[in-house]
Amino acid sequence: MRRNLCYCHIRYLLRYSHRPHLLWVMRGKLGNRPETIMARAIWNGRVIAESNDTEEVEGNVYFPEASLKREYFIPSTTTSLCPRKGQARYMSLLIDGQDNLDAAWYYPDPMPIARKIKGYVAFWRGVEIEK
């Protein structure tokens, strides 16, 4: 089993490490709930998730699991560890014969500070988010 820091944590460190005062402000916070707006996750020309009940955490939009178009998702054995949110698991995408490995991640058992993203999935690796 592979363990790494999760992408969102690395992005968070890169974004705020040169501004220490913002690291202090962000410590212990995972972001604010966005306004209710329909959001779509799109890859390879297909909508893979769509919901107006998303959560935004550290710049990533998390979609409810029920909003995923399951026919495009394949389970992955990849995991990563975020010290703030816990262990992430990944899913890959397969659309029209093209795959996008580990393009989605979720926290099946997030730490208490991240409990609002339990049952939610985020994307990266070329997946576009429209709001």
d(CA 116, CA 16): 23
Convert the pLDDT of each residue in 48-85 to its tens digit.
999 999 999 999 999 999 999 999 999 999 999 999 99
Superfamily, domain 7-130: Domain of unknown function (DUF427) (2.170.150.40)
100/119 Cα distance (integer angstroms): 21
pLDDT at 9: 57
In three-state secondary structure terms, 11 is helix
Residue 6 scores a pLDDT above 70: no
pLDDT of 30 above 60: no
Q: Does position 10 have pLDDT exceeding 80, yes or no?
A: no
DSSP three-state, residue 41: strand
φ, ψ for residue 104, nearest 5 deg = -130, 145
pLDDT (0 to 100) of residue 24: 41
Q: Can you point out the beta strands (E) in the chain?
A: 39-43, 46-51, 55-57, 60-64, 73-82, 86-95, 98-106, 120-123, 128-130
> What's the pLDDT tens digit per position in 73-118?
999 999 999 999 999 999 999 999 999 999 999 999 999 999 999 9
**Interval 36-48: pLDDT, tens:** 679 999 999 999 9
pLDDT for the residue numbered 37 = 76
Question: What is the C-alpha to C-alpha distance for residues 128 and 39, in angstroms, rounded to an integer?
Answer: 10
E strand spans, 30-85: 39-43, 46-51, 55-57, 60-64, 73-82
List the structure tokens of 103.
């393009």
